[in-house]
């Protein structure tokens, strides 16, 4: 039963280094958070089974494992993905400025009908926040993506963000 599922979906996470991609995945999959994990965790993807309308969906959630630091994400990373999470850091303007570059890469590398969600992470750091919701919303609109703000630290909106994306993908499968 554990390993029976109706759909297998590949979801990838991209965005600048340090925005919280690995921690978003860890929070969603393991309900954990780690301050410094790059040396210990180098996994290619996490898996998690979720349910939607009595159907089981096995998610394959791909982590860049630091490849983005060298701006050399391999084409296999994008290949066959159903969903893309583009993540930026609400406390770093340049990470939002780079979202469009990430989107261009998605357009070049991923399937045409891939679903995209934009996540503004580190919502808990309200004192250091520099990106306003309106600005981020505009970028999301520009790239045709939904927008949501999360904290991998407190787990605020993390489930919701993944649910939004999975729902969008699921609707297209039907
Ligand atoms: P990645 O390089 O995009 O995978 O980012 P990481 O998940 O490795 O996180 C980079 C740094 O940001 C680490 O020190 C994390 O502890 C921290 N971090 C990640 N998410 C959050 C968050 O939601 N809130 C806060 N305060 N720190 C975060």
Distance CA 33, CA 128 (A): 20
Name which of 152, 168, 148, 174 is nearest 160 in CA terms: 148
Give the CA count within 13 Å in the CB-facing half-sphere of 71: 4
pLDDT at residue 102, as a whole number: 95
Q: What is the ipTM of this complex?
A: 0.99
pLDDT at residue 69, as a whole number: 74
List residues near ligand 1 (CB under 6 A).
17-23, 35, 38, 121-122, 124-125, 151-153
pLDDT at residue 73, as a whole number: 77
| Residue of 13, 20, 158 best suited for mutating to test ligand 1, as the one with most atoms within 8 Å of CB | 20
The length of the chain in residues reads 174
Torsion sign, CA atoms 96, 69, 119, 13: positive
pLDDT single digits (tens) 84-109: 999 999 999 999 999 999 999 999 99
Distance CA 151, CA 23 (A): 9
């Amino acid at each position: 039963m554990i390993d029976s599922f109706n759909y297998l979906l590949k979801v990838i996470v991209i965005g600048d280094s340090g925005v919280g991609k690995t921690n978003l995945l860890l929070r969603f999959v393991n309900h954990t958070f780690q301050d410094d994990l790059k040396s210990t965790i180098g996994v290619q993807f996490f898996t998690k089974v979720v349910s939607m309308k009595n159907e089981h969906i096995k998610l394959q959630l791909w982590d860049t494992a630091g490849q983005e630091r060298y701006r050399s994400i391999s084409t296999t990373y994008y290949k066959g993905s159903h969903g893309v999470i583009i993540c930026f850091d609400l406390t770093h303007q340049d990470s939002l400025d780079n979202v469009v570059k990430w989107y261009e890469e998605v357009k070049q590398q991923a399937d045409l009908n891939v679903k995209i969600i934009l996540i503004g992470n580190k919502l808990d750091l309200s004192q250091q926040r520099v990106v306003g919701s309106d600005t981020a919303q505009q970028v999301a609109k520009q790239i045709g993506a939904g927008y949501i703000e999360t904290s991998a630290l407190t787990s605020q909106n993390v489930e919701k963000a993944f649910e939004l994306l999975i729902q969008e993908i699921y609707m297209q499968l039907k």
